[in-house]
Amino acid sequence: QVQLQQSGAELAKPGSSVKISCKASGYTFTSYYISWIKQTTGQGLEYIGYINTGSGGTNYNEKFKGKATLTVDKSSSTAFMQLSSLTPDDSAVYYCARGAMMVSPFAYWGQGTLVTVSS
């Protein structure tokens, strides 16, 4: 069955970077795009962008350009998202997700990774 297993919670200092992972299993990794979504109590669910796991091509929400960088390692069927120049506003749960056929809707979700930015 399709599974997306995300890396564990991160505690980071303002100004630093974190890189979270999303390991896929149960399907051909390069056949489906992986998207990333941010969830906070205040802003709700926000779409960050997606990566074409076959070509490495990306599409970002303008709001997250310069903040998030999406990459993949095809050899390990893992997608990554690096968040840079962290501020407290980046504190959130981040999900990776996959569509059933298209990028969206999101039929499969990772369990989420909590990122806390605090000095």
Partner 1 sequence: NIVLTQSPATLSVTPGESVSLSCRASQSISTSIHWYQQKSNESPRLLIKYASQSISGIPSRFSGSGSGTDFTLSINRVESEDFSIYYCQQSYSSLYTFGAGTKLELK
Residues that bind partner 1 (CB under 8 A): 35, 44-47, 59, 61-62, 95, 102-107, 109-112
CB 113 within 8 A of CB 91: no
Asked if 92 contacts 117 with a C-beta cutoff of 8 angstroms, the reply is no
To partner 1, the closest distance from the beta carbon of 5 in angstroms equals 12
The two structure tokens encoding residue 109: 């979700």
- Nearest approach in angstroms of CB 118 to partner 1 is 21
Nearest to 94 by CA among 33, 32, 18: 18
- Written as six digits, the tokens of 65 are 């350009």
Contact between 79 and 22 (Cβ < 8 Å)? yes
